Structure 1
């Protein structure tokens, strides 16, 4: 019995001294903290960037974040709602040498009086949640594009869905009589504050509050519900594309045929590629921009220098001091499409698409990171090699 007690005590001490003892760490003790409230579809990016920023010598910071619905995040920034529940944070190598962005982030203990948010992240147009102008002192910064997908279990034989079919499936449920999706208990969707639901709602013309199905709080719950369904053929769900991209071994995406289209398209050029070609050129229509909300001064400049540095990096702007990594490469690696790689744009959720030319294009670099750049793309070492164009990220761009 004595040996058992000693073993248990040793185990308890080991747990307290392990890297995961950071669960009890005071958030305010973390170096250069940035407090963020974000949609969970953006968590992969926060983890990847956060790990690099935590180790950075140029501009080190600790990303401390809570995930919530985009509409909730917008409301929190507009109203100055403090963070009062224990958030997650990105650990340093010293705190946890085994941690990487594929693993859950540890928690820290928040001040019980709450901490003001430095940054809120929405994964859809702010107007979809609140059409009124932002309060004075709050700036909105449009970031990379986030596609969304309908998903089915790998065992499903379904490969595509039309907007009309989705309208009857999610608008009428069993009464819609769209085979094989006639069991509402096997529709795995999100709640009405989430960008995933609201973006999909705009794409198929069914208001978010009227959707049929099982409303779930987290993307991981949707993924699990679809992947483990006992009736794969009748199961369907909705998910952010970057969450899907990291879990293609568990579920399949459906090609989508929008209203007035004659063919269905994947976000990517094929079911197995990661190039987001059909998002970039307008063939795949279910997407929204990410939007970063932060306190600003009278000139519209983000007041917190660490937040300004972080947002500028994500928006592909030049930052000083230059980081030891390429932020654009990190954004692309997480399944988002940077604005500089887009060829179409829209001004509101589900709005018509129009042709778009970014001020500083990065299409060739983007293509080089997700597959094979087109034949027109030329590598370069400086502007002089680009015939009047600009050399960006090692490729000649038109301007």
Structure 2
């Protein structure tokens, strides 16, 4: 029998066939480029930028990472670990190692990867193992640092919060639920006490935890401490979505409720609830027409906030890590991404709003909204991408625009 096994082993080797074994992920600190077809090479990958925190940033990072990897001028490898918004804050404000709780689920993107987008995986995605003590270059949060219970007196010297795309957080139900809306007062009772019909069974409240930016932002909105919500911690947007969408019986569909970022609650298997904030007379959803986020951009839908990109900065206020500085510039819109990546298109597809498309702003969690005029507006380009139409005049130069308008992102606008 041993001789037979040896013969089979030799044949498998000669034929290039191996026995099944668990693949070992590469070290994130010593990555090499993949060759065509995903083959291994000995060529070192570009310098690494370590990013951790909110899960909401992943689609945007996934859009930028492959082109940053091959950027001929400023190449970089983006290594990302999803750990929750408040963990992203702590990674920068407190210097907590991003590898403290998880060393095996970090990912990066190589254009030669053969990974296809499926489930929670994005295209070109590969995994790597974090070394003990690995520190983040960029911490990403859906909420302000103060909301996470740190930096109550402001960020410590040498750190900065750069604000990126705007996200809306939502209450959602199964697509077959009879419910259409929820008020702040009702949500306070549902998630604080579980005593508002039809949401009286907290085992059907699919929530997150106090480290989640989704739950923290909604908690600030309805004024229920994120640590004391009534419900089942499902740990991620993916799991909350799965719990809501899997409810089959009508009775279960009616009593189920969850919290989701707008990109998840916009999927057909679940239904966004219109939300009526304290002091409002009507409830609103983030969109007027699909993808346009007009109620967010104009301040009618209340539960939104900017994506926060925290990092260590030098004396001039710029990120110490030059490649982290590039990533932040692309995500905040202060510099165009390399190789023609269209972040407005990516933002629309991921249900977030670039700051240049906003007409209101706020400076604290669920704070008072004030009018906002971006230095270079992209409202027309955003509308065109989101809805397929715009009333703005198309242009290729400022000379084609009149009345003090400028040619912004292909359209004449006032800013």
What TM-score, normalized to structure 1?
0.89
Q: Does 1:291 align with 2:308?
A: yes
Task: Say whether 1:259 aligns with 2:278.
Answer: yes
Check the 8 A contact 1:160/1:256 in 2, yes or no: yes
264, 267, 271: which one aligns with 1:243: 264
| Separation (CA, whole Å) in 1 of partners of 2:158 and 2:64 | 26
The 5 A counterparts of 1:132-147 are 132-147=153-168
Match of 1:310 among 314, 317, 327: 327
| Residue among 44, 63, 72 paired with 2:87 | 72
2:239 to 216, 221, 225: 221
Are the structure 2 counterparts of residues 171 and 8 from structure 1 closer, same or farther at C-alpha, using a change threshold of 3 Å? farther
Cα deviation for residue 55 of structure 1 reads 4.1
1:323 match: 339
Task: Answer yes or no: is the 8 Å Cα contact 1:49–1:330 preserved in 2.
Answer: no
Whole-angstrom CA distance in 1 between matches of 2:163 and 2:412: 25
Superposed CA RMSD in Å reads 2.4
Distance apart, 1:216 and its partner CA: 2.6
Shift of 1:233: 0.9
8 A Cα contact 2:291 2:348, kept in partner: no
Counterpart of 1:187 (choices 190, 197, 205) is 205
2:126 pairs, out of 106, 109, 112, with 106
Give the aligned partner of residue 396 of structure 2.
381
**Residue equivalent to 2:230:** 212
SS of 1:146's partner is strand
- Provide closer, same or farther for how the CA distance between residues 338 and 166 of structure 1 changes in structure 2, counting only shifts above 3 A: same
Instruction: Tell me by how many angstroms 1:5 deviates.
Output: 6.2
Distance 2:105 2:72 in 1: 25
Closer, same or farther in 2 for the Cα pair 1:303/1:328, shift >3 Å? farther
Distance 1:224 1:294, change over 3 A: same
Q: Secondary structure at the match of 2:254?
A: helix
1:398 aligned residue: 414
May I ask how many residue pairs the two structures share in their alignment? 384
Q: How many Å separate the matches in 2 of 1:15 and 1:106?
A: 19
State which drifts further: 258-267 or 44-53: 44-53
- State the match for 1:124 in structure 2: 143
- Taking the aligned partners of 2:325 and 2:303, their CA distance within structure 1 comes to 29
Q: CA separation of 1:106/1:148 partners in 2, compared to 1, >3 Å: closer, same or farther?
A: same
Q: Describe the shift of the 1:163–1:8 C-alpha distance in structure 2 as closer, same or farther (beyond 3 A).
A: farther
Distance 2:411 2:79 in 1: 35
- The worse-fitting range, judged by mean Cα deviation, of 336-345 and 211-220 is 211-220
Aligned to 2:34: none
CA distance in 2, matches of 1:91, 1:127: 32
Q: Which residue of 2 aligns with 1:60?
A: 75
Distance 1:103 1:172, change over 3 A: closer
- Counterpart CA distance in 1 for 2:295 and 2:342 is 25
SS in 1 for 2:348: helix
Q: Could you tell me which of 29, 47, 56 is aligned with 2:62?
A: 47
- For residue 110 of structure 2, the aligned residue among 92, 95, 98 is 92
User: In the alignment, is the contact (CA less than 8 A) between 1:56 and 1:324 conserved in 2?
Assistant: no
| Equivalent in the alignment of 2:42 | none
Structure 1 runs (4+) greater than 6 angstroms displaced? 7-12
For residue 8 of structure 1, report the CA deviation from its aligned partner.
8.8
CA distance in 1, matches of 2:184, 2:65: 37
Q: Kindly state the Cα deviation for residue 102 of structure 1 after the two structures are TM-superposed.
A: 6.0
Matched, 1:13 2:18: yes
User: How many Å separate the matches in 1 of 2:67 and 2:387?
Assistant: 24
The more displaced of 151-160 and 44-53 is 44-53
User: Contact (CA 8 Å) 2:183, 2:283: kept in 1 or not?
Assistant: yes
* Residues 170 and 272, structure 2, Cα contact 8 Å, conserved in 1: yes
Retained in 2: the 8 A contact 1:188–1:222? yes
What secondary structure sits across from 2:279 in the alignment? Answer: coil
Instruction: Report Cα offsets for 1:26-75 as digits up to 9, x if no partner.
Output: 21222221111121122222222223323444433221111112122111
**Cα distance between partner residues in 2 of 1:210 and 1:365:** 42
Q: How far apart are 1:80 and its partner, in Å? A: 1.4
Aligned to 1:167: 188
More deviation, 291-300/25-34: 25-34
Partner of 1:351 in structure 2?
Answer: 367
